Amino acid sequence: VVGVDEAGRGPLAGPVVAAAAIVPTNIEGVIDSKKITKEEDRERLYEELVSSPGIRYAVAIVSAQRIDEINILQATLEGMRMAVQGVMDMDSYYFALIDGNKIPKDMPCSSESITKGDGREYSIGAASIIAKVTRDRLMHEYDAKYPEYNLKQHKGYPTVAHMSAVRKHGASLIHRRTFAPLK
């Protein structure tokens, strides 16, 4: 079973990141990444997951520009499909459990969507953590490139500080220009 989830649908800046994971062993504490409040705890679980024997995972990063071209929902579904394709072997059969209520078009395997699946299915929870940590690390890299936005602090979400920086400096190349506060 392939667990599939995303991180970064709500921010005004940065990509949406989808992850697909096949995790043969259970690691204690793997749940929906949004329920893990400390970044260091997510980082620790991420390292345990990606180094666990037999794990297969793939990440797909969909840029802010692509999000603006096709909208956040379609960008999320595109990322999920690409992540699932990244973990599949041609000679194996897979079934994907996808967090949410939509299944991407052209999925390369049979799939089922599960609302709040990241808290109900272990493999989706694992994908949730992988996607979230990958995106957070990218936002730290973007913070070095665009320090005036303090992206490492809010990860691109529309906080008061972020909105103030956007008003002062304008939108950067990684901002989603089709999102309401930036239109």
Measure the CA dihedral 105/106/111/114, to 10°. -20
How far is Cα 153 from Cα 151, in angstroms, rounded to an integer?
5
Alpha-carbon distance values, 82 to 75, 132, 156 (Å): 11, 17, 23
How far is Cα 45 from Cα 86, in angstroms, rounded to an integer?
21
Q: What is the pLDDT of residue 41?
A: 93
Q: Annotated binding site for a divalent metal cation, which residues?
A: 5-6, 99
Domain architecture of the chain: domains with CATH: 2-138 (3.30.420.10)
Q: pLDDT averaged over the chain?
A: 95
Q: Which residue did the predictor score with more confidence, 27 or 79? A: 79
The residue type found at 147 is P
Q: How many residues does the chain have?
A: 183
Two structure tokens written together for 135? 């995106």
Span 59-64, average pLDDT: 99
Residues 146-179 have pLDDT tens digits of 999 999 999 999 999 999 999 999 999 999 999 9
Cut 0.85: pTM above it: yes
Residues 109-131 have pLDDT tens digits of 999 999 999 999 999 999 999 99
Two structure tokens written together for 47? 């390292």
Q: Annotated binding site, which residues?
A: 5-6, 99
Q: What is the pLDDT of residue 93?
A: 84
